[in-house]
Structure 1
């Protein structure tokens, strides 16, 4: 049994659903057999993602925030409460662009560039804020350089938000982190934060959450070469490679 949108359904075995009638030009019987076996695993993966999402939604109330953090925003000071706007849910992303960095983390930047394009849709449902410890002037300057139109950036250089919710040592490097907060009445609570990283990584794999939020890796995972082991996104590429 599985619960989808609050309703219980008896699911057909993935193997039965995976008997695809599709055929691509020139495919062999060996290819079709292997592809259907893979399809069954893809169906099971989708179902597992749904189960994990349901477990996440069913979490008990998280801890109340110790304070209403105050940030430097693009239009002046802003509290975490103000970041919610008209929504009752706020997603934050800790961008690795602290005061010791000359340029931001390329991986974070690749992810945020993808999310900027999705932001008009995301903001229909929840609020979203990008937080970094670097000075707000540098964050805004890079946002303009990158052409981000919808992401809202805030500097946490004057508060303990990164230490409290990104497990970050201010004297060390930056940590990326997703967090979700809720607001009910005047009470702010932490709902969920990613806790996967180097300590949970499997051998030979980069540390990452599940599901992986980066469209870049999702696309490369569809290809024969996969993610590879010697390539990462950059902030800039030669014009001939674009």
Structure 2
């Protein structure tokens, strides 16, 4: 029995943990029963997320990166191996802002805006690079416009990184992609990539990964209206709150 299975076998049933001591003003007995039923499912979901994360961490060695890709950064040329800095793990996100676009993808921008605020904390644990095919000057100009302070941007216009690790057709549309790389004894290897997309989507749902990487959807999933069926982030709103 693996360590993960041993830990799972000692857990109390979610139903035993789901008798919440919380009570809110005016709630009915019917509401409390339904809420505790939901709480049991939330506990099971948390446990499943932990099992999946442990299985991900236990992946065998991925393939060695075929070349030390050269990018253009905001401070000049940089290679993939240099992006690690002092870390042994590098997370990359392929931003949908290729040269064919005047403005970047609103969904990517929403995600990266959230990550910009988290970046001082993320960079304590791993390196993080945002990669797009547009010239670095175009990427940096939008960063300034958006008020991003901490994201590290790189242009892959002169290499095949997007094709190799995001499955992009150089003459086609942009493809968003998360990838994780490791560096051990000077060798850079691919560790994991997000591989859920339109082909893995369930009926009636937008393509998404699990857990969902966009904080906005996590918040909306806790509300009565949920994500909605026809709403998506925009780069700007006419009725922006003040």
- When normalised by structure 1's length, the TM-score is 0.96
Aligned equivalent of 1:193: 193
Distance in 2 between the 1:240 and 1:84 partners?
37
Three-state SS of the structure 2 residue aligned to 1:8 is helix
Q: Give the conservation status (yes or no) of the 8 Å contact 1:180–1:191.
A: yes
Distance in 1 between the 2:18 and 2:44 partners?
10
Three-state SS of the structure 1 residue aligned to 2:7 is strand
1:229 and 2:233 aligned: no
Three-state SS of the structure 2 residue aligned to 1:191 is strand
1:241: Cα distance to partner? 4.0
Aligned equivalent of 1:140: 140
CA deviations over 1:107-148 (Å, ceiling 9, x no partner): 000000000000000000000000001111100000010111
CA deviations over 1:181-205 (Å, ceiling 9, x no partner): 0001110000000000001011111
Distance in 1 between the 2:211 and 2:190 partners?
20
Three-state SS of the structure 2 residue aligned to 1:34 is helix
Distance in 1 between the 2:224 and 2:191 partners?
37
Three-state SS of the structure 2 residue aligned to 1:41 is helix
Q: Give the conservation status (yes or no) of the 8 Å contact 1:49–1:211.
A: yes
Within-5 A mapping of 1:72-221: 72-221=72-221
> How many residues end up aligned between the 2 structures?
241
Q: Give the conservation status (yes or no) of the 8 Å contact 1:136–1:154.
A: yes
Three-state SS of the structure 1 residue aligned to 2:142 is helix
Alpha-carbon RMSD = 1.5
CA deviations over 1:179-234 (Å, ceiling 9, x no partner): 00000111000000000000101111110110001010000000000000111100
- When normalised by structure 2's length, the TM-score is 0.96
Three-state SS of the structure 2 residue aligned to 1:32 is helix
Q: Give the conservation status (yes or no) of the 8 Å contact 1:83–1:90.
A: yes
1:8: Cα distance to partner? 3.0
1:239: Cα distance to partner? 5.0
Q: Give the conservation status (yes or no) of the 8 Å contact 1:2–1:11.
A: no
Q: Which runs of 5+ in 1 are unaligned?
A: none
Q: Which runs of 5+ in 2 are unaligned?
A: none
Three-state SS of the structure 1 residue aligned to 2:15 is helix
